[in-house]
Structure formats: structure tokens, C-alpha cells
Structure 1
Amino acid sequence: MEKRTDILKTLRFAIDLDPDYAQFSVLTPYPGTSIYEEAKREDLLLTENYDFYTAGKPVLKNLYMSPEEIANLLKYCYVRFYLRPSFIIRELKRRHFGVVLGVLKRIFTKT
């Protein structure tokens, strides 16, 4: 179970690594997996409504953060990574402005 500091360390690692793209997500324990069975056994599932089982919506209890805090941290990671001036400048040099704008729009409408 990650704490806020763990997530921020992962973000820092991604920024320091400076890849072309990064994807951040929350653990989603899909039915039929050992993680799902363990979460169910430990009473860690917040819901069994599978409409919420996406990489962007917390469905597991966390002792250190609320689901809202986790969702906000997920958004923060995307904003912090993709709105870095160095990333935007690099992408603008490689691609047409409209393409970069479209990519950023898709990233932020998914989170």
C-alpha cells in the first residue's frame, strides 16, 4: 500500500528519467486475479461495481489516503509530468503544435 510520499517519489523518478511519455495509474484488482482475491479476502474493495474498475479510479481501500486524495494525486502526476516546459518544448520541436495540443487534451480529459 503506497503512501503519498511513495507516489511522489515515483513521479520524481519519471521526471528524472525524462521519457517521451509516462503513464500513471492506480492498482485495479480485476476479478479472477490473485490481487482481486486477496483484496476481497482482506475487505479492501471499496466497490464491486465493475464500471469503476479502470486505471484511473481507486477501488481499493488505502490506510494512508482517501480515494479522492489518490485520484487527485493521479491528476497531479499527469499535470506535473506533461506540463514541464522541457517536455512541451521537446514535443513542439518534434511535432506540429496541433498534434501536441491534441495529445495534451487527450491526457487531461482522461484523468
Structure 2
Amino acid sequence: MENVTVQLPHKKAEGYVIPLGPANLVAIITDIGLVGCGAFDVAALDSFSYPAAKVRPAVGPSIVNTSDILTGIVKEANRGAMGRGIKNGMTGKEALELL
């Protein structure tokens, strides 16, 4: 597992990359919520009142690392994330800045 600190404009977040055979499970977590790859069930996280969004890669076939989360495009956000202003089509970095 890889853990990196991600500097956002107003705070730091923690990024995680967990290798799962041919794919990686990737997320960046703030003190409020997370933005992750397509493997995350953001609707399930909503049942815990945890704001979450998942992104699709801006380039390439899949999310591989935390940089891909930052440049990725939000494809789904749960109610908690939408309540903080996260919308489909924004970048992962823009979404994280709202968390």
C-alpha cells in the first residue's frame, strides 16, 4: 500500500493506493470525506452520512494513482458530497477542495 500526503489549497489530505492484482484501489481522504476511483460505492457511504464522490480517468483506461484522482472527472457523488457543492463533471481536485 502507498500512502501520500496531498496538499490542497486550504488543507492536507491523505492519498492511498492499494494494489489489487491488475488494478489499484485509489482514494484521497480529507477530514470530511473522500474522492476515489470507480470501485467505491459512494451510495453505501451516504448511509453513514459520509460525503464521497468517485471519478473516472481524464486520460487512459483506469485510475492508477492519486494524481489520476486529482485530474479525474467526477462521475458520481452521493447526497453528502452534493450538499457540499460537488457536481458531476468537475475534477477530483475541485471536489476535494469542497471537502
The two structures have a TM-score, normalised by structure 2, of: 0.25
Greater share of helix: 1
Larger RCO (alpha carbons 8 Å, 6+ apart): 1
Greater share of strand: 2
Larger Rg: 1
The two structures have a TM-score, normalised by structure 1, of: 0.23
